[in-house]
C-alpha cells in the first residue's frame, strides 16, 4: 500500500522478500557494482525498507532502510554502532530511527525523487512519534583530498553537541575537526562537494561527528549524522509536511 504518492513517484514500504531483494539490487548498483548482484547484510532483517517507484513504468528509483528504536538504550543494535562509539546517545530518552543505505538510481536525476523520499520519511517520523533521526552520510571514495572544504565547513558549523558526540571506534578515521582546525572553507566548493543526503540533513538542522570513518568495504568516507526532530526549523518542517500531506 502506498505511503505517499506525488506526481510521477510513489513511496511505499517493502512487502515481502522480492521487494527487499529489489532494494538490495539497487544498493549494489549505487554503492558497489551491478556485477555484485545484491548488497545485503544482517541488518536488513531488522529494518523496514522504503521504496520509491516511478509510476509510469514501475521502476525502483530510490530506496533506504529504517531501524526504529524505542530510545537510545537500543542504539548498540544499529548499523552505525559498528563504526562509532555511541554510548553517549544511549541516554537519549525519545524514540529514534536509523536511516541507512539511502540511494537513488544512477539513471535518475530528478530532484522530485528526493522530495518524495523525504516526504515519506516525514510521514513515518510523524506517525511513529520519532524524536531523533540518525545514520551515516557518505562521501564517495576513501581519500579526503577532494572534500577538504566540505569537511572544513562541517567542522566550523555543524559539529554535534558534546553531550551526543560519537567517539572514535573504527580502526581508520579522518579526524577532520582536529586536522582542519586552522582551515577556513571555500563555501562554494564545500557545498558542491557535499553529498545531497547530507546537505538535506544540514538544511534541517542536522549535525555530524568530528571524524569521518574510512570504510573500504563500501568505498566511502562517512560521518555520523544526527537530527533532533524538534530542531528542524519551522519553515522547513512545514515544507516537508506539505509534501508528506
- What confidence score (pLDDT) does residue 4 get? 84
pLDDT at 238: 80
- Average pLDDT of the chain is 93
Distance CA 3, CA 40 (A): 24
Pick from 81-95, 105-119, 153-167: least confident? 105-119
The mean pLDDT value for 37-45 works out to: 94
**What average pLDDT does range 12-38 have in this prediction?**
91
Q: What percent of the chain has pLDDT over 90?
A: 82
Band (36; pLDDT cuts 50, 70, 90): confident
pLDDT average, residue stretch 209-221:
95
Look at residue 236 and tell me whether its pLDDT is greater than 90: no
pLDDT recorded at residue 172: 97
- Check residue 244 and give its pLDDT: 67
Which cell is 40 given? 545485503
pLDDT of 237 above 90:
no
Question: Whole-model pTM?
Answer: 0.92
Region 200-214: mean pLDDT is: 95
pLDDT at 35: 74
Would the pLDDT of 245 be above 70? no
- Write down the domain spans for the chain: 65-244
Amino acid at each position: 500500500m502506498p505511503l505517499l504518492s506525488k506526481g510521477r513517484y510513489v513511496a511505499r514500504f517493502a512487502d515481502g522478500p522480492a521487494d527487499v531483494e529489489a532494494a538490495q539490487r539497487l544498493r549494489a548498483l549505487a554503492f558497489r557494482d551491478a556485477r555484485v548482484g545484491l548488497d545485503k547484510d544482517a541488518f536488513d532483517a531488522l529494518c523496514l525498507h522504503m521504496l520509491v517507484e516511478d509510476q509510469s513504468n514501475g521502476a525502483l528509483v530510490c530506496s533506504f532502510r529504517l531501524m526504529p528504536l524505542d530510545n537510545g538504550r537500543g542504539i548498540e543494535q544499529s548499523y552505525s554502532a559498528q563504526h562509532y562509539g555511541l554510548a553517549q546517545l544511549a541516554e537519549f530518552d525519545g524514540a529514534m530511527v536509523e536511516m541507512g543505505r539511502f540511494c537513488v538510481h544512477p539513471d535518475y536525476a530528478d530532484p522530485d525523487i528526493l522530495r518524495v523520499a523525504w516526504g515519506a520519511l516525514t510521514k513515518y517520523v510523524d506517525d511513529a512519534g520519532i524524536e531523533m533521526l540518525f545514520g551515516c552520510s557518505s562521501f564517495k571514495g576513501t581519500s579526503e583530498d577532494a572534500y577538504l572544504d566540505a569537511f572544513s565547513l562541517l567542522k566550523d558549523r555543524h559539529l554535534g553537541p558534546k553531550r551526543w558526540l560519537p567517539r572514535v571506534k573504527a580502526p581508520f578515521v579522518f579526524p577532520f575537526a582536529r586536522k582542519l582546525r586552522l582551515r577556513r572553507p571555500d563555501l562554494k566548493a564545500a557545498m558542491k562537494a557535499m553529498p545531497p543526503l547530507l546537505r538535506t540533513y544540514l538544511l534541517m538542522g542536522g549535525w555530524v561527528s568530528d571524524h569521518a570513518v574510512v570504510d573500504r568495504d563500501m568505498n566511502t568516507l562517512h560521518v555520523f549524522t544526527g537530527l533532533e526532530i524538534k530542531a528542524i526549523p519551522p519553515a522547513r518542517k512545514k515544507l516537508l509536511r506539505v509534501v508528506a500531506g
